[in-house]
Structure 1
Amino acid sequence: MTFARPDHTSHPDMLPRMPVWVISARAETLEDVAFLSGAALNHLHLVLGHADVPQALLRDRLALRAAEACVAFSGRPERAAELRDAVHLLRPGDLPGPAGETYLAWRRVVERPVSIKALGRALPTIEPGQIAAWLDAGQGAPVTRAAMVLEAVLTEAPRSDVPALILADIVLAQALGWDHLMPLLATGLKRAVLRKRGDDLRLACHRALVSSAVEAVRLSTDLVRRATHLKAVAPKLRAKGAGDAVEMFLTRDAFAPSALPLPDRAARRLCDRLVDLGAVRELTGRDTFRLYGV
């Protein structure tokens, strides 16, 4: 289903806050942890229903975090900055490398509504029939279904961390009635957890979703604040194509100036102007090959 949109405009301070007891509770049993994860996911659902939460931008930033976690699982050194470079500084004909491929898979899967076709684009090395079979492996409540899919994929393909986590998040989204995948499990799980099975894996998934839902709510609040400021300064921009550039910044984690719908020099000036206005950030700290994002 599509999130219901309140009629009022959502100021970041108006977004419902995660209940303190969800954050501070120290549950040990599967039943208690499941209760907390349900409360956290329900609260995240309420936050996502607010009109000013930039959904695409939130998903894209969570995709970066999920990719970073998956790359760390594989023992590779790349972190967020290197992942951004691997994707945004690609030249025609270049290959993104293993870490870049992981990031691209997460970005592709959050771009479009959940479907086998969209999953095939994100996971091109897996047959659609296999994807469908794994998605059908889960039964029961949302988190239980996600854990069962995670276990099914990793049992049949032990090195397939990225497909397993993507498909588990897909099942979770479907069970919660979300149109798009929201990357949650990868950012909350530890590498060793992926070797667990049965109730131990379910318990770990519930714990992971408490922490990742809390973080997603915090990030949503931060992005609403940043997006609101960007929209407020947009009328001050005089460059032709600035409006389209602003809309792009509201949908993606980062951009190189060359990706914006302006001539190169005008795009760089626009990015610097937005930085001066406090509306976007330069993300690399470099003098050249810069990347910008809300």
Structure 2
Amino acid sequence: MTFALPDHISDFDTLPRMPAWVTSMRAETLEDVAFLSGAALNHLHLVLSRVDLPHALLRDRLALRAAAACVAFSGRPEREAELRDAVHLLRPGDLPGPAGETYLAWRRAVERPVSIKALGRAFPAFEPGQIAAWIDAGKGAPVIRAAMALEAVLREAPRADEAALILADAALAQSLGWDHVVPLLAAGLKRTDLRKQGDDLRLACHRALISSVIEAVRQAADLARRATLLKAVAPKLRAKGAGNAVEMFLTWDAVAPSALPLPDRAARRLCDRLVDLGAVRELTGRDTFRLYGV
């Protein structure tokens, strides 16, 4: 049985849609592409200002997408489903493996307000001064700063694709006045783009941001609707600790029943109940070792 949203909630989209001319207009020159990426980022800025958006959940889901792109850049076979397993099914003492480490780095980068200290949690191998220098490598408009940060990292650490992309997103976030890193560039760039420089790299970054922002806005609208439904059904949940469990679903891309603040059997029953209500989805398609998410 699914739970129907009240009419005043379900009869409208909670977030504004991307203008059609941004999604359909074809541009070739750097100036035209820069104009479109600026329009897309402005629209995303408006979306991110909405209080009805589950911000942490959106960032975590975009982090998974970015991590999958980085793993693909490295030639590894893991995709989003495998990354979820590598992180969310970890047991105490287990190691997540290279792909899991990539996903964890992205999650650490987005979960706290952007700062050198927070980014240092994602990259403990780099000195704080080095991270600060890379983020501040560029001057000018936000996308130019992001591209120059990306180029600066890869110039000094050619194999640090993941760090370069995260720090480029951090430079973008800071220049736009966002509190947190929002993963955008990795999912839109190609592996070959990371070896470009100057205007060629800037053009690639503008193109990447257009496509990634379109997807981020789509995901934001979807998650806002799903989060509204989860909040609507939350009062119907009787299990002790259900409120904290709901907050976890509104924060993380995926949740294992064992991570919920309930006894094991009660946690599985709560997950099944939320699936029956249409408030969360089972993400793996498996009978065991299941993961759930909004």
TM-score bucket of the superposed structures, by smaller chain: over 0.9
List alignment gaps of at least 5 residues for structure 1.
Answer: 1-8
Cα deviation for residue 24 of structure 1 reads: 0.5
Deviation of the 1:11 alpha carbon:
7.7
For 1:287 and 1:10, how far apart are their aligned partners in 2? 32
Q: CA deviation at 1:12?
A: 5.9
**Residues in 2 aligned to 1:90 and 1:252: alpha-carbon distance in whole angstroms:** 15
- 2:252 matched to 1:252? yes
Q: Give the distance between the partners of 2:106 and 2:31, measured in 1 at CA.
A: 31
Equivalent pairs, count:
287
State the superposition RMSD in angstroms.
1.4
- Tell me the distance in 2 between the aligned counterparts of 1:219 and 1:262: 29
Corresponding residue of 2:80: 80
CA deviation map 1:26-82 (0-9, x unaligned): 111101100000000000011111111100000000000000000000000000110
- C-alpha change, 1:11 and 1:246, in structure 2 (3 Å) is farther
% identity of equivalent residues? 84
**Structure 1 stretch 57-66 or stretch 150-159: which is displaced more?**
150-159
Scaled by the length of structure 1, the TM-score of the pair is 0.95
Cα deviations by residue, 1:214-241 (Å, 9 ceiling, x for unpaired): 1110000000111011111111111111
2:97 corresponds to? 97
Match of 1:6 in 2: none
**5+ residue gaps, structure 2:** 1-8
**8 Å contact kept, 2:14–2:225:** no
Residues 197-236 of structure 1 aligned to structure 2 (within 5 Å): 197-236=197-236
Partner of 2:268: 268
Instruction: Call closer, same or farther: CA 1:24–1:288 in 2, change over 3 Å.
Output: same
- 1:113-154 deviations in Å (ceiling 9; x for gaps): 011111111111111111111112111100000000101111
With normalisation by structure 2, the TM-score equals 0.95
Q: Tell me which amino acid in the other structure corresponds to 1:44.
A: L
2:5 aligns with: none
CA separation of 1:114/1:10 partners in 2, compared to 1, >3 Å: closer, same or farther? farther
Following superposition, which runs of at least 4 residues in structure 1 exceed 2 angstroms of deviation? 9-12
Please state if 1:192 is matched with 2:192. yes
Offset, 1:14:
3.8
Equivalent residues of 1:185, 1:208 under 8 A apart: yes
Alignment of 1:91-240 (within 5 A): 91-240=91-240
In the aligned structure 1, how far is the partner of 2:14 from the partner of 2:241?
Answer: 32
Residues 54-73 of structure 1: matches in 2 within 5 Å?
Answer: 54-73=54-73
- For the Cα contact (< 8 Å) 1:245–1:260, is it kept in 2? yes
Q: Which amino acid aligns with 2:148?
A: M
**Partner residue in 2 for 1:32:** 32
Alpha-carbon offset, residue 197 of structure 1: 0.6
Q: In the alignment, residue 210 of structure 2 is paired with which amino acid?
A: V
